[in-house]
Amino acid sequence: MSNILQTKTAEEILSTVFKPKEFIIDGLLTQGLYVLAGAQKVGKSWLAMDICLSIATGVPVLGRGTIQGTALYLCLEDNYQRLQRRLFQMNAEPIENLHFALAADKIGAGLEEQIEAFKKDHDDLKIVVIDVMQMVRSNVESSYGSDYAELIALKQLAYRLGICILLIHHMRKAKDDNPFNMMTGSTGIGGATDGNFALKETKCGSGKAIMYCQGRDIEYAELRMHFDTDAMRWIVENEPATQKSRDNIVLSAVYLFIKERIHFEGTATELVEELKTVTDEVIYPNRVTRDLVQNGYELSKYGIDFKYERVHKGRVIILHYNGKRDSSDGRNVTVTQALSDSSQTSI
């Protein structure tokens, strides 16, 4: 029956290997729904254009790496002549995987179907930018309920298609110590999204700003930036902090061990004992289980098949190494380097 709740036990969730989200901009944008808010004429559209261009060409943006793919920019307050001028000013190359549209349907009245149809024709679609959000809203009045309901529809669409949807939005003139409280509309907007970015000039007309970043899958950050009028792009002045990996010591030890053993089947406690042959690090059974489950999908790229199964004596870890599928050769950061430098990410 359709009205029966579909559930999973904590045991099932904690033993399932899920495919990780793919960051199309390192540490900033992944699959889901995001809002980029800023005052009028602050340079939101220039930043949005730069993001689309960078993803379409696979080059860094805001000092961070990107995953190359198709980008769709819904420029709902522009015309093609203005877009052409901006592209020329940014010295953009003619590329076929960056698409623009000047009109789109409203949320709940055709927009979702338009994006879904575009995705069918462009399987490598990574990002859809909607500039501005108000142009696709069906509800004129803004309340927590209406804001949340409309954005949830786009969020579910982003999840279903495995893409990022970035909404360009306005900020009020009213002052607030929390820049996210300055976004036009109710708190339902920020509550429905996966992440929010607030672009706020340090002084009106200065060309300098701070972009405040927060989200469910990203670390809170404040990016100090200035607008380069020659390149017509926002440039980040403070380097993004290197995120330390908490998993690479364990995963690197597992890699070294299974590469020699080829096959292992046993409890987490038994695996920890075996790992003592390749590292002096203290590793706990619950830690090794957690790291393997959370990184099981990624491990397959290095030729390691992982299963966590229940047998009559309890749960066992099964590892198998296939050297033909090991993609670690030739990487800048090797698996073994992580054993001596826990700030580097190897697997």
List, for residues 63-88, the tens digit of each pLDDT value.
999 999 999 999 999 999 999 999 99
- What is the C-alpha separation between 181 and 172, in angstroms, rounded? 9
Nearest CA to 157 out of 197, 117, 189, 101 is that of: 117
Which residues lie below 8 Å from residue 8, measured CB to CB, with a gap of 6+?
Answer: 16
210 conformational bin, left if phi > 0, alpha if psi -120 to 50, beta if neither: beta
Per-residue tokens: 130: 């909607």
- The distance in angstroms from the start CA to the end CA of the chain is 43
Sheet holding 314-326, edge to edge: 263-266, 314-326, 302-311
- What is the C-alpha separation between 321 and 258, in angstroms, rounded? 6
- What is the C-alpha separation between 253 and 123, in angstroms, rounded? 37
The whole-model pTM stands at 0.79
Predicted confidence band at 329 (pLDDT cuts at 50, 70, 90)?
low
The tens digit of pLDDT for each residue in 29-73 reads 999 999 999 988 899 999 999 999 999 999 999 999 999 999 999
Q: Which residues of 157-194 are buried (b: 16+ CB within 10 A; e: fewer)?
A: bbeebebbbbbbbbbeeeeeeebbebbebeebbbebbb
Position 50 scores a pLDDT of 97
The tens digit of pLDDT for each residue in 93-137 reads 999 999 999 999 999 999 999 999 999 999 999 999 999 999 998
Local structure of 335: helix, strand or coil: coil
DSSP element (H, E) containing 320 = strand 314-326
Which residues lie below 8 Å from residue 178, measured CB to CB, with a gap of 6+?
Answer: none
DSSP element (H, E) containing 252 = helix 248-261
